[in-house]
Each structure stands twice: as C-alpha cells, then as structure tokens.
C-alpha cells in the first residue's frame, strides 16, 4: 500500500477528517483522479432527483457542464424553476429541464415514468439524490416510513420503470447518493419500517441509507441483464439547506470544515461520466471504492439481505 493510500484510509476511519473538506482536499492534492477524456456527456440525458437544492443541484450543474441534458427532477416545480434559473445564469450553455416527481410516492413515480417514456427514447443515467431526515415519524403517501420510501422504495420503483429507457442508452448508469451514516447501522429484516422502539429521524435515515448500500450486489445482478450498472456513493459532510434544517447543531459545530455542495457532488458526477465504466455494485467515496462495513456489529447474513430485498420488491410490486 502506498503512503497516500494509507493516509486515505486513515482519513476515512477518523470520519471527521475524511468526510470533511480536509478529506477531499487531501485526496485531490495527493491522489488525483484526473477527469478522463471520456467525461464528455454531450448527447446524454441524465435524470437527477432532488436537483433544486444542495448536493443535487451541484450534481445537476456538474453534469450539465459536461454537456448532458439534465432532467432536474423536483417535488416542487417553482423551487425547481428557481434553481434552474440560477444554474442557467451561472452557465448559459447548461441544458436543464425541470421535471416534477415526488420520489416517495408510488403513483407520482408511475405517472412520471409513463410521461417520460412518452417524451424520451433513452435515458443515460439516473442519479437518486433526493433525501430527507424527518424530525418525527412520517409515513409516505403509500404508508411507508418516509426515509425508506424516499431513499429505497421510490428509487427502486423509478429505476425499474425507466429500465427500457436506460437499456436504450449505450452505457446506462444508476447512482444512489447514500450517506456515511449508514456505517452505524445493520439491516433489521424484522422491522424494516421502523415500527418498534422510539423513532429517531437520524436512525431511520441511516437505516434506509444502509439498505441502499446493502442491496447493491442484488441490484447490480438484476440490472446487468439490461447492461445497466449501479453504484452508491457517500458525499461526506456538506453545507447544504438539508443539513442546516435537519442537523443545525452539527452544522454549527462543523461548519468550518464542511464540504461545499460541489465537493460533495464530485463522486456522483464522476461515477456518471467517467470511462471506463466503474464496476457495478460498489460503494464509493471521493472517487474510490470503499468497504461497506467498518464495525463488526453491522454485518448481516445473506438470509437477512434476501428478506430485506423481498420486502422492498414486494412493496413496489415487483415479482
Ligand atoms: N449534506 C450532507 O452532509 C449529506 C451527507 C450524507 C448524505 N447526504 C445525502 O445527499 C443527498 C442530498 O442532500 P442535501 O444535503 O443536498 O439536502 P437538501 O439540500 O435538503 O436536498 C435534498 C433534496 O431532495 C429533495 N427531496 C426530498 N424529498 C423528496 C421527494 N420525496 N421527492 C423529490 N425530491 C425530494 C429536496 O426537495 P425540497 O427542496 O423540495 O425539499 C431537495 O431538493 C441526500 O440523499 C442526503 O441524504 C447529504
């Protein structure tokens, strides 16, 4: 292992340093991953959820700067239009289209996917970035715990419905924006909806982010038949409206070292654009593959994983 690889791993394990702007600063300086010539997305259409704010907005800007047509998918059209205006003012060449979909609501997702399929013949990538950390237990329109619905069930359903459009692209990719918080949680196949115990939004959030990552190998296998690759990444800690609202104390404490949304977006943009295509089913941070466990307590069996998958697949009506 090279010295920089050792330092990189140490940064990851200290958490605060690795996830902050210190981590990405070190990695970009000492372990650069140059943008490949292939990072040109001209002609590609990419869909980014939660694109009106924070990291999603920065992902949209980064992909548009590489020439993609970006479908800025938002739950509130006026917030989406405001973000699009700002991004267009900063980059007049950016090709940005606002699309409306609540990614926690199955009926909305079905209608949106049907509408998109009527207007597009191909989608090159889907970036599932939309995220929530609710203060109290909230159920989605379909009666699922909101983090599970927003981070897992909605993205699964939307991707499944868009598979024909993805399969029509030459190198289709799916990217899930997860969180380093998932390292604290295992899978609980008996309480996937978090119905027992006192509800804590941060725990619900981290559990759902763990499920995103845990399902990666199954999704990679499932979608390989359509040549669709899937990756999950975690952005580190970034100063975004979402962080300010959900964790104000954390933000006050760590503000000087929080990443910019652009730094947090970097790996998602890179995973979408880089060539050759990154291997499917992996978890990434700062353009490197990362382990999915650091704690022995978060490990789970194949049986548990299979149970969680069956539950999620059943919830969205997959056979
Ligand atoms: N910031 C961090 O330090 C950090 C760390 C780890 C992971 N992440 C992850 O990064 C992603 C982006 O977070 P952020 O920090 O940029 O937060 P943010 O500023 O709150 O952005 C979240 C975006 O998701 C959208 N959204 C939420 N629920 C939605 C739904 N049901 N349908 C459609 N859009 C929905 C929000 O729309 P509205 O504006 O309409 O609410 C907003 O555009 C999330 O997945 C988050 O979990 C962030």
CA nearest to 99, candidates 123, 116, 114, 87: 116
Q: Report how many domains make up the chain.
A: 2
Q: Are residues 143 and 72 in the same domain?
A: yes
Q: Which residues span the domain enclosing 247?
A: 41-315
Main-chain phi, psi angles of 105, to 5 degrees: -115, 115
Tens digit of each residue's pLDDT (9 = 90 or more) over 66-98:
999 999 999 999 999 999 999 999 999 999 999
How confident is the model at residue 113, as a pLDDT?
Answer: 98
Distance CA 178, CA 186 (A): 14
Q: Show the ligand 1 pocket: residues with CB < 6 angstroms.
A: 49-50, 52-56, 74-76, 79, 102-104, 129-132, 150, 177, 179, 234-235, 237-238, 240-243
Q: Are residues 103 and 74 in the same domain?
A: yes
Q: Determine which residue's CA is closest to atom 23 belonging to ligand 1.
A: 50
Q: Is 239 exposed, middle or buried (0-12, 13-18, 19+ CB in 10 A)?
A: buried
How confident is the model at residue 30, as a pLDDT?
Answer: 82
Q: Are residues 15 and 90 in the same domain?
A: no
How confident is the model at residue 14, as a pLDDT?
Answer: 80
User: Which of 48, 54, 259, 271 is the pocket-test mutation for ligand 1 (most atoms within 8 Å of CB)?
Assistant: 54
Q: Are residues 99 and 150 in the same domain?
A: yes
Q: Is 15 exposed, middle or buried (0-12, 13-18, 19+ CB in 10 A)?
A: middle
How confident is the model at residue 36, as a pLDDT?
Answer: 65
Strand partners, 233: 177, 284
Q: Are residues 241 and 205 in the same domain?
A: yes
**Ligand 1: nearest atom to the Cα of 209:** 47
**Ligand 1: nearest atom to the Cα of 76:** 40
Distance CA 287, CA 281 (A): 14
Q: Are strands 173-177 and 229-233 parallel, antiparallel or unpaired?
A: parallel
Q: Are residues 168 and 300 in the same domain?
A: yes
Asked whether 240 and 260 are in contact (CB, 8 A), the reply is: no
Terminal Cα distance for the chain, rounded: 44
Q: Which residue has 């069996």 as its token pair? A: 301
Is residue 35 pLDDT above 80, yes or no? no
How many angstroms is it from 50 CA to the middle of ligand 1?
6
Q: Determine which residue's CA is closest to atom 43 belonging to ligand 1.
A: 50
């Amino acid at each position: 292992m090279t010295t920089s690889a050792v330092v990189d791993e140490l940064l990851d394990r200290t958490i605060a340093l690795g996830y902050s702007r210190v981590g990405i600063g070190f990695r970009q300086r000492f372990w650069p991953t140059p943008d490949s010539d292939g990072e040109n997305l001209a002609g590609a259409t990419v869909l980014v959820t939660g694109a009106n704010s924070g990291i999603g907005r920065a992902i949209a800007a980064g992909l548009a700067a590489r020439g993609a047509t970006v479908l800025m998918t938002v739950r509130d059209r006026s917030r989406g239009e405001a973000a699009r205006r700002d991004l267009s003012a900063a980059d007049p060449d950016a090709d940005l289209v606002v699309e409306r979909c609540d990614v926690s609501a199955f009926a909305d997702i079905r209608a949106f996917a049907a509408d998109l399929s009527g207007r597009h013949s191909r989608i090159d990538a889907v970036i599932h970035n939309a995220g929530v950390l609710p203060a109290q237990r909230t159920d989605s329109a379909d009666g699922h715990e909101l983090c599970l619905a927003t981070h897992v069930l909605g993205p699964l359903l939307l991707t499944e419905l868009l598979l024909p459009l993805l399969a029509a692209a030459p190198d289709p990719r799916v990217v899930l924006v997860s969180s380093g918080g998932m390292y604290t949680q295992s899978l609980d196949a008996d309480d996937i909806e978090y119905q027992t115990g006192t509800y804590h939004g941060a725990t619900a959030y981290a559990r759902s982010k763990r499920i995103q990552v845990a399902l990666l190998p199954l999704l990679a296998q499932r979608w390989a038949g359509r040549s669709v690759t899937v990756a999950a990444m975690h952005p580190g800690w970034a100063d975004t409206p979402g962080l300010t609202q959900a964790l104000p104390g954390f933000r006050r404490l760590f503000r000087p070292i929080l990443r910019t949304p652009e730094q947090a977006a970097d790996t998602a943009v890179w995973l979408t654009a880089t060539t050759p295509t990154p291997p499917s089913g992996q978890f990434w941070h700062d353009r490197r593959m990362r382990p999915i466990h650091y704690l022995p307590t978060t490990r789970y069996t194949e049986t548990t994983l299979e149970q969680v998958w069956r539950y999620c697949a059943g919830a969205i009506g997959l056979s």
